[in-house]
């Protein structure tokens, strides 16, 4: 099955009403029909900067993607939501850093900018340790591994690690992430696990290709090794406890057939933003302060900066996250 056909199959799951037959739900990743949908009391976002909302001081924070700051209404952080915000909206929850109505927050970001799976301070285990009372009324999102992939690639590029050793370590890190998620599930919490993006088409890979032959291929292979281990080693392998969203496949499909997903003129290997970090990338009413490249809009580019996804990719990942939340018989 091609990536595009697989993505279209997953898209059908998003559009399928919850009331559809058990057979269809099983095809979308759930094992049985859902009698009473899981209604968490708290949402916990774990991982790296793809799940981070940086508070601007007025609970109208910035994300690591294009930030639409047009207009005068409060709550601009709700524009172009990242995938964790799509989850929060579905459950009627609010993150403290994006909370224009000042409602009591019930969604919490424990993800850390720059986090790697095994980092003793900011890694996945440390993030989970910082969550008080994790249990059966919690839904947890996990998206991590992108910074590991880039770090391992750079070790190969700089000669401190062989290609074979880097691929083995990527696979090992995926297994360790899966083991940590498995431990999380023993608390009774449910989880949505989102794989790291496929960086093969990224502006980062394109730039690295000028200084290291085969950079894009190696980045993709490292991602395949890490994500493959993560996908296949979470226990129990049971849709009642967790759901998988293959962000790497989604990104690869968009890169392969951009015109089927992005607005014209579509771009899959050029950053939409002129800023170094997507957190500082803004679309404003004042063209002089807008930090998008000429011709870019919120849905023309796959990537916001050299390694962080644009709003269109976040939207499609968010759709699949909701499909898992709705269709898996948690």
Q: What is the pLDDT of residues 133-156, one digit of tens each?
A: 999 999 999 999 999 999 999 999
pLDDT at 9 over 80: no
Low-confidence winner among 8-17, 230-239, 287-296 (lowest mean pLDDT): 8-17
For the segment 23-34, the average pLDDT, to the nearest whole number, is 41
Q: Which two tokens mark 245? A: 């969203």
pTM above 0.95, yes or no: no
- pLDDT of the residue at 27: 38
Higher pLDDT, 6 or 283: 283
Residue ranges making up the domain that contains 281: 3-327
Q: Identify whether the C-beta of residue 149 lies closer than 8 Å to the C-beta of residue 199.
A: yes
Mean pLDDT within 89-117: 96
Binned at pLDDT 50, 70 and 90, residue 2 comes out as: very low
pLDDT on residue 180: 98
The pLDDT value given to residue 247: 98
pLDDT at site 36:
73
pLDDT at residue number 13: 43
The count of residues in the chain is 330
Name the pLDDT band for 19 (thresholds 50, 70, 90).
very low
Domain count, the chain: 1
Mean pLDDT, rounded, of the chain: 91
Residue 206 confidence (pLDDT) above 80: yes
Residues 6+ apart with CB under 8 A from 45: 51, 52, 84, 95, 107, 108, 109, 110, 111, 140, 141
List, for residues 222-255, the tens digit of each pLDDT value. 999 999 999 999 999 999 999 999 999 999 999 9
Mean pLDDT on 206-234: 98
Model confidence at 311: pLDDT above 60? yes
Whether residue 126 has pLDDT greater than 50: yes
Lowest-pLDDT range of 31-40, 189-198, 227-236, 275-284: 31-40
Closest alpha carbon to 205 in 268, 116, 277, 297: 268
pLDDT more than 70, % of the chain: 89
pLDDT at 163 (0 to 100) = 98
CATH code for position 29: 3.40.50.1110
For residue 14, name the pLDDT band (cuts at 50, 70, 90): very low
**Residue 101 has what pLDDT?**
92
Is a pLDDT exceeding 90 seen at residue 22? no
């Amino acid at each position: 099955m091609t990536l595009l056909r697989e993505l279209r199959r997953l898209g059908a799951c998003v559009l399928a009403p919850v009331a559809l037959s058990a057979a269809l739900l099983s095809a979308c990743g759930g094992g049985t029909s859902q009698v009473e949908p899981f209604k968490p009391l708290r949402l916990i976002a774990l991982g790296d900067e793809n799940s981070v909302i940086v508070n601007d001081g007025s609970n109208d924070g910035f994300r690591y993607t294009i930030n639409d700051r047009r207009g005068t209404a409060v709550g601009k952080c709700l524009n172009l939501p990242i995938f964790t915000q799509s989850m929060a909206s579905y459950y009627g929850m609010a993150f403290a850093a994006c909370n224009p109505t000042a409602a009591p927050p019930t969604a919490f970001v424990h993800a850390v900018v720059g986090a790697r799976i095994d980092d003793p301070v900011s890694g996945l285990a440390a993030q989970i340790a910082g969550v008080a009372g994790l249990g059966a009324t919690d839904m947890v999102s996990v998206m991590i591994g992108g910074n590991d992939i880039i770090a391992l690639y750079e070790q190969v590029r700089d000669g401190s690690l062989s290609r074979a050793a880097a691929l083995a370590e990527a696979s090992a890190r995926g297994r360790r992430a899966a083991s940590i998620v498995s431990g999380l599930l023993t608390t009774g919490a449910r989880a949505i696990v989102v794989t790291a993006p496929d960086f093969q088409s990224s502006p980062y890979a394109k730039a690295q290709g000028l200084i290291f032959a085969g950079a894009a291929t190696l980045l993709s292979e490292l991602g395949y090794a890490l994500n493959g281990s993560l996908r296949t080693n979470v226990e129990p392998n049971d849709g009642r406890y967790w759901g998988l969203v293959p962000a790497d496949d989604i990104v690869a499909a968009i890169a392969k057939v951009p015109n089927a997903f992005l607005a014209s003129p579509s771009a899959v290997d050029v950053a939409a933003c002129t800023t170094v970090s997507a957190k500082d990338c803004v679309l404003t009413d004042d063209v002089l302060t807008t930090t998008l490249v000429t011709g870019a809009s919120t849905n023309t580019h796959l990537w916001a900066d050299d390694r962080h996804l644009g709003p269109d990719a976040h939207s499609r990942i968010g759709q699949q996250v909701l499909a898992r939340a709705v269709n898996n018989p948690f």
